[in-house]
Amino acid sequence: MKIYRKMAVLHDALIASAALSLVMSAPALAQNAPQDASDDGASEPADPGEIVVTALKSGSVRLDKVPLAIQAFNGDVLKQRNVRDGADLIQLIPGASQAQEIGAGYRIFSFRGSGAGGPIGDGLIGYYLDDTPFGVPNNQAAPPVQYFDIDRVEVLRGPQGTLYGLGSSAGTIIYHTKNPDLDQVTYAGELELSKSAEASDPNYRGAAAISLPLVPGKLGLRVSGGYDRRAGVADIYSGAPTGTPREKDANHVTSKDIQAVLLWKPDELTSVRTRFWYFATDQKYLNVINSLDPPFAAFQGDVVGFDKRRAWYASNTIEREFGGVTLTNATSYQKSLPGGFQVGLNLGAPLGTGVLINGGDARNFVNELRLATNDGGPFKGVAGVFYQNARSLYTFSLTFPAFGLNGQTITKTENAAIFSEASYELFDGKVVPLVGLRYFKDRREADSISNGVRVQSKARPDALTWRANLAINPSPNWMVFFNAGTGFRSGILQSQAQADAVIADGVPSGISLTPDKLRNLEVGMKGSVLDGDLRVAVSLYDIKYTNIQSAFNTSIGLAAFANLGDGKAQGIDMELTWRTPLKGFTLNAIGNINDSKFTRVRPAFAGADPRISNGLRLLNTPTHNFRLDASYEQPIGNATLFATSSATFIGRSRLGDATVNEINPYELYQASIGVRFDRYEVRLFGDNLSDLRGPTSANGPTLLAGPRPRTIGVTFRLNTN
């Protein structure tokens, strides 16, 4: 309790300081010149070596000067590479994979073997919307971001335990949304029409944005939104997949969102940014089905499956400069509305066909207050306090003709952290050491009811995470860095009945699992040759996972949780960008090769699940992933002709389901060609050109998921000059 009182006092003092600074700045409103309409200078220029990122929270830094395994993609690159959802983005990241997929609104991703324990517990990848995290306890799902109005995405691989803390032990993805233009009216629009193999109906989507300077140079509003409908491809059978299906092309998806960003810059030193976002993703039936080629779901009885996700998210960020430092206060509130999924299950005799329903809702309040240097001197530092208060409700219902099970779990967390990172440039910036610490304290409790029996549990985990970094700059164009750090995740809470069932099987467990941790050692280099036309980045990493939390299938059939043991992941990440001698022709490549395995599995756990034992490969971790992108642009009169293509290669991976032991290696291919003139663009594209069906993930032999069948379409875009 003492740490909470101390943090509360510090938090209140800093909030008061931020408010006072705004009051003091008010008389200067009429005296300051209008500011540049750009958001924070972090958009991507033509030269990829000049990309600017803000992930270090201590100001804007050129991407090639950040001594971390980090990537950044601006909005134009995301559109060029046809990124529509998280599964598309993951293909651009070395060592990343999809650990689970249920419906269009529920996907879980993994970095560098972090998915070894399965899709359970708190998140392992931190998802940040601008300055604050998106996520709730006991949920690893990525936010269903709509990429139309994204300014850039920054991806940090490896633990981010000091600056981003809980939820970012494997890495962090930061989505930066576009700011209003404070000086002029701007607008953008996009329409797309396409047709997928196996679908009777077309896919179509539209999105638009408008930015208005309400008070020129001072206050601006940007409003954007979109609607996306993807036609269904799977047929639904009440029983065996014979005869006429009950429904054809049934698993269609409708996604929609709207957001508004209000930016106020009362003077040169102050900015206030408020954002509101609402999204809804509705799918009839699911992405996981019995067969992918041809696509169908069988033995569904009269169950109408669905996946529904809805949430609204509000945030506010205040920044104020004081001489050589910047004070930032970022607040957000997330409300996940009631939703979930429903699916028919055929478990054979004697249970027969039943229905599984998972649902719930959540809320999440977050506030971070930090102070960072901004004077460009040799010393750079950031320090702050973080507070979170979140609650999630999970419900389940499993109903068969002669059997039923239902219940719910409410998980609450109230946690706080203090953090700091500092670096100093030695020898005119040729050597830059950095150290960072974060202390985290959590108060967590769970209230579970299963078939009317209530069980309560609580835990008080804490952790001290650290990071040490050494950057060496032997020349202006090259950097070598060493990075070491740790990550942490609070333990899962379960019922006493679950804990007793695990213990009866000889595996130590309890109502509160031991938090899992990881330690990362990494050495990398990045730089350019050929006058910047060829840029490379390479990272070698060694990760040790300790006390991995995992689901455990007990001998009495009750699903429960336990710490399975330890694991490791060793690998190499590679990135390359080459502006070839052929003018307008650019190649981009990413890749990862890794050796990941369990190193110390508890004997009883291995006895219950022999697929998890010492020396076996980590689950949900492909042996490799590679992607090659090629783009070409050629001016023709007043227009520009462009073409793009990509090839993605994913290695073999082991799954947690014994009946679907592995996902075989697979490849995905894309291409597009179009013309751009004045403010307009038209593009013809093809996705999954080889019509790969998969599976690319599986939750069981009748719950298979794969990429969308071959899709051909056309896109129209409009942008303000």
Pick the range with the lowest mean pLDDT from 301-310, 377-386, 584-593, 605-614: 605-614
Nearest partner of 387 among 368, 412, 403, judged by Cα: 368
Taking the C-alpha atoms of residue 22 and residue 19, their distance in angstroms, rounded to an integer, is: 5
pLDDT for residue 573 is more than 50: yes
Nearest partner of 655 among 602, 607, 703, judged by Cα: 703
* Cross-strand bridge partners of residue 619: 654
Taking the C-alpha atoms of residue 487 and residue 464, their distance in angstroms, rounded to an integer, is: 9
Task: Give me the mean pLDDT over the 578-607 stretch.
Answer: 95
Token readout for 599 is: 């190193």
Taking the C-alpha atoms of residue 621 and residue 99, their distance in angstroms, rounded to an integer, is: 8
| Beta carbons of 344 and 373 less than 8 angstroms apart | no
Taking the C-alpha atoms of residue 438 and residue 441, their distance in angstroms, rounded to an integer, is: 10
Taking the C-alpha atoms of residue 155 and residue 174, their distance in angstroms, rounded to an integer, is: 6
pLDDT for residue 44 is more than 70: no
Pick the range with the lowest mean pLDDT from 20-29, 99-108, 165-174: 20-29
Q: Which percentage of the chain shows pLDDT scores above 70? A: 93
Nearest partner of 548 among 656, 649, 645, judged by Cα: 656
**Number of residues in the chain:** 721
Cis peptide before 695 (omega within 30 of 0): yes
> In which band, very low, low, confident or very high, does the pLDDT at 257 lie, cut at 50, 70 and 90?
very high
pLDDT for residue 242 is more than 50: yes
Task: Give me the mean pLDDT over the 675-691 stretch.
Answer: 95
Q: 316 vs 26, 265, 456, 507, 658, CA distance in Å? A: 19, 14, 35, 46, 46
At residue 559's C-alpha, the angle toward residues 490 and 456, to 5°, is 55
Taking the C-alpha atoms of residue 276 and residue 255, their distance in angstroms, rounded to an integer, is: 17
| Beta carbons of 207 and 234 less than 8 angstroms apart | no
Taking the C-alpha atoms of residue 355 and residue 399, their distance in angstroms, rounded to an integer, is: 5
Taking the C-alpha atoms of residue 566 and residue 601, their distance in angstroms, rounded to an integer, is: 6
Higher pLDDT, 554 or 697: 697
pLDDT score for 7: 39
pLDDT score for 1: 41
Full-model pTM: 0.92
pLDDT score for 119: 86
pLDDT for residue 690 is more than 80: yes
Task: For tokens 């719930």, name the residue.
Answer: 360
DSSP state letters, 483-533 = EEEEEEEPPPB--HHHHHHHHHTT----SBPPPEEEEEEEEEEEEEETTTT
Pick the range with the lowest mean pLDDT from 230-244, 257-271, 347-361, 421-435: 347-361
Task: Give me the mean pLDDT over the 130-135 stretch.
Answer: 93
DSSP helix/strand/coil, 619: strand
pLDDT score for 164: 95
Number of domains into which the chain is organized: 1
Cis peptide before 294 (omega within 30 of 0): yes
Taking the C-alpha atoms of residue 102 and residue 92, their distance in angstroms, rounded to an integer, is: 22
pLDDT for residue 657 is more than 90: no
Is 417 within a domain?
Answer: yes
pLDDT for residue 68 is more than 90: yes
pLDDT for residue 27 is more than 50: no
Is 30 within a domain?
Answer: no
* Structural Rg of the chain based on CA atoms: 25
Dihedral over Cα of 5, 9, 10, 15: its sign: positive
Taking the C-alpha atoms of residue 432 and residue 414, their distance in angstroms, rounded to an integer, is: 36
* Cross-strand bridge partners of residue 600: 566
Q: Which percentage of the chain shows pLDDT scores above 90? A: 73
Is 574 within a domain?
Answer: yes
| Beta carbons of 437 and 419 less than 8 angstroms apart | yes
pLDDT for residue 651 is more than 60: yes
Taking the C-alpha atoms of residue 126 and residue 118, their distance in angstroms, rounded to an integer, is: 16
Is 14 within a domain?
Answer: no
pLDDT score for 6: 37
* Cross-strand bridge partners of residue 601: 565
- Work out the widest C-alpha separation in the chain, in whole angstroms: 80
Torsion of CA 30, 33, 38, 41, to 10 degrees: -120
pLDDT score for 412: 95
Is 21 within a domain?
Answer: no
Half-sphere exposure of 191 (CA within 13 A, CB side): 4
pLDDT for residue 77 is more than 50: yes
Task: Give me the mean pLDDT over the 102-117 stretch.
Answer: 92
DSSP state letters, 257-292 = EEEEEEEEEEETTEEEEEEEEEEEEEEES-S-BSEE
Higher pLDDT, 608 or 151: 151
Nearest partner of 144 among 209, 228, 205, 224, judged by Cα: 228
Half-sphere exposure of 516 (CA within 13 A, CB side): 32
pLDDT score for 11: 39
Domain that holds residue 602: 52-719
pLDDT score for 570: 98
pLDDT for residue 555 is more than 80: no
pLDDT for residue 20 is more than 60: no
Token readout for 64 is: 């090639």
pLDDT for residue 41 is more than 50: no
Higher pLDDT, 452 or 331: 331
pLDDT score for 556: 66
pLDDT for residue 31 is more than 50: no
Task: Give me the mean pLDDT over the 7-25 stretch.
Answer: 35
Q: List, for residues 272-329, the tens digit of each pLDDT value.
A: 999 999 999 999 999 999 999 999 999 999 999 999 999 999 999 999 999 899 999 9
| Cα end-to-end distance, the chain, whole Å | 56
pLDDT score for 237: 96
> In which band, very low, low, confident or very high, does the pLDDT at 28 lie, cut at 50, 70 and 90?
very low
Nearest partner of 124 among 143, 106, 111, 107, judged by Cα: 111
pLDDT for residue 128 is more than 60: yes
At residue 292's C-alpha, the angle toward residues 669 and 93, to 5°, is 40
Q: 501 vs 21, 406, 492, CA distance in Å? A: 57, 18, 16
pLDDT for residue 584 is more than 90: yes
**Mean of per-residue pLDDT scores for the chain:** 89
Taking the C-alpha atoms of residue 99 and residue 115, their distance in angstroms, rounded to an integer, is: 6
> In which band, very low, low, confident or very high, does the pLDDT at 400 lie, cut at 50, 70 and 90?
confident
pLDDT for residue 495 is more than 80: no
| Beta carbons of 390 and 363 less than 8 angstroms apart | yes
Supply the DSSP symbol for 5. H
Task: Give me the mean pLDDT over the 619-640 stretch.
Answer: 96
pLDDT for residue 22 is more than 60: no
pLDDT score for 557: 64
pLDDT for residue 349 is more than 90: no
pLDDT for residue 16 is more than 70: no
Instruction: Say which CATH number the domain at 675 has.
Output: 2.40.170.20
Q: What are phi and psi of 352, to 5 degrees?
A: 80, -145
Taking the C-alpha atoms of residue 627 and residue 361, their distance in angstroms, rounded to an integer, is: 37
Which H or E run includes 709?
A: none
> In which band, very low, low, confident or very high, does the pLDDT at 553 lie, cut at 50, 70 and 90?
confident
Q: List, for residues 366-398, the tens digit of each pLDDT value.
A: 999 999 999 888 999 999 999 999 999 999 888
Residue 175 Ramachandran class (φ > 0 left, ψ -120 to 50 alpha, else beta): beta
Burial label for 427, CB within 10 Å (0-12, 13-18, 19+), is exposed
Higher pLDDT, 166 or 713: 713
